[in-house]
């Protein structure tokens, strides 16, 4: 779909995942045994065959850059277009732009060079499997200036609190955008609009000393725009806290959730050349997701195990998330724990967190 230009804007995403975001931005947090949060939006964009994708980053993006490389894993290493990682380095003394508008202003060339007529804007905290082509058709059909994507949530959870809500009429037009906590229509931080209109809005906002594209160009000026709403009904998870990270990781052990996320939607990630996982004679695994390259001799229950993890004989991993290359020695026990990458847990060590507030162990710790 050469008509679409992808914009992934990480500017306003707060790194609220404590230990997991000490050294990386939220988009680079590992999720679902072998992915990082950014993989889901990038894979959606890949499936819709967008011409180019610009990724606006500001802080702690080293591990994100390492993960993305030249975009090959998402088929975005192209002669024309492909993946552009756009960090905020720019020193124009006359530049008066603020907030995420600064990104757009500083990278006008990225927008102008692309032949695509429409932009699709997204963050990385809402994990979903949206079909951008369908969104595009819907947008054209509605003849709207902007189409916003929302998900109607039956049971609101604490992680939905920071999300904006859309009030939508029967014809799918947005009546209001607000923060009322009990409203079920969660704005998924995804929108589609014509590129020219987008750039006009950016210019206007900068001229008026504004700083935040969505708030100032869309929310505040909603009377001046025809705003449509697109209801997304597939898999959806918001990852904006340790609690929501843990809860949604555990939810993937429910087979319906796993199927919703992965069935028919190939999610791409950086390739690691790991061997298949080896279960030793003493292994005892149930209700768990396990990536490749692991060697499992112990017990694993209700857990999410990333690539290259070693769980030795007698060790027990229960209700936990164990990231890449962790080693859990003989007879160690973890329960309700999130171990970040490369954690080594020595023999007979016991760590028990609370199911509501899991214990998080920072990257490369030796315990």
Residues that bind another protein (CB under 8 A): 32-34, 72, 253, 255, 258, 261-262, 266-269, 271, 273-293, 295, 297, 300, 304-305, 308
- According to DSSP, the β-strands at 333-335 and 316-318 are parallel
269 with 35: CB under 8 angstroms? yes
Using the minimum distance from each CB to another protein, give the nearer residue, 40 or 198: 40
Rounded least distance, CB 129 to another protein, Å: 12
Contacts of 205 (CB under 8 A, 6+ apart): 101, 211, 213, 216, 217
Using the minimum distance from each CB to another protein, give the nearer residue, 137 or 284: 284
Rounded least distance, CB 245 to another protein, Å: 16
Contacts of 27 (CB under 8 A, 6+ apart): 8, 10, 13, 36, 37, 38, 57, 64, 124
Using the minimum distance from each CB to another protein, give the nearer residue, 293 or 353: 293
Distance CA(305)–CA(77), nearest Å, equals 30
Rounded least distance, CB 318 to another protein, Å: 13
Rounded least distance, CB 190 to another protein, Å: 23
Using the minimum distance from each CB to another protein, give the nearer residue, 192 or 300: 300
Using the minimum distance from each CB to another protein, give the nearer residue, 112 or 255: 255
Rounded least distance, CB 259 to another protein, Å: 9
Distance CA(182)–CA(196), nearest Å, equals 35
Collapsing DSSP to helix, strand or coil, 7 comes out as strand
Task: State both tokens at 194.
Answer: 């014509």
């Amino acid at each position: 779909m050469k008509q679409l230009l992808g914009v992934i804007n990480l500017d306003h995403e707060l790194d609220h995942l404590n230990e997991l975001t000490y050294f990386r931005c939220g988009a680079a947090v590992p999720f679902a045994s072998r992915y990082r949060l950014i993989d889901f939006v990038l894979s959606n964009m890949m499936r819709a065959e967008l011409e180019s994708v610009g990724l606006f980053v500001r802080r702690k993006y080293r591990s994100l850059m390492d993960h993305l490389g030249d975009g090959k894993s998402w088929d975005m290493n192209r002669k024309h277009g492909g993946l552009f990682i756009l960090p905020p380095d720019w020193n124009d003394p006359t530049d008066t732009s603020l907030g995420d508008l600064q990104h757009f202003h500083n990278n006008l060339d990225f927008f102008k060079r692309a032949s695509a007529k429409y932009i699709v804007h997204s963050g990385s905290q809402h994990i979903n499997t949206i079909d951008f082509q369908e969104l595009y058709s819907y947008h054209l059909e509605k003849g709207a200036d902007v189409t916003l994507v929302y998900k109607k949530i039956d049971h609101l959870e604490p992680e939905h609190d920071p999300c904006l809500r859309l009030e939508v009429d029967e014809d799918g037009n947005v009546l209001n955008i607000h923060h009322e906590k009990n409203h079920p229509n969660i704005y998924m931080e995804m929108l589609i609009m014509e590129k020219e209109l987008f750039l006009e809005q950016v210019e206007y906002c900068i001229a008026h000393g504004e700083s935040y594209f969505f708030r100032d160009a869309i929310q505040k000026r909603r009377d001046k725009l025809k705003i449509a709403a697109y209801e997304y009904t597939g898999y959806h998870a918001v990852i904006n806290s340790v609690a929501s990270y843990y809860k949604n990781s555990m939810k993937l052990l429910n087979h319906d959730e796993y199927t919703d996320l992965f069935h028919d939607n190939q999610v791409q990630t950086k390739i690691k050349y790991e061997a298949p996982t080896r279960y030793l004679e003493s292994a005892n695994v149930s209700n768990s997701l396990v990536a490749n390259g692991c060697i499992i001799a112990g017990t694993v229950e209700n857990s999410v195990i990333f690539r290259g993890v070693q769980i030795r004989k007698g060790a027990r991993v229960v209700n936990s998330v164990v990231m890449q290359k962790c080693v859990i020695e003989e007879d160690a026990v973890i329960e309700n724990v999130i171990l970040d990458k490369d954690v080594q847990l020595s023999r007979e060590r016991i760590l028990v967190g609370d199911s509501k507030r899991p214990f998080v162990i920072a990257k490369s710790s030796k315990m």
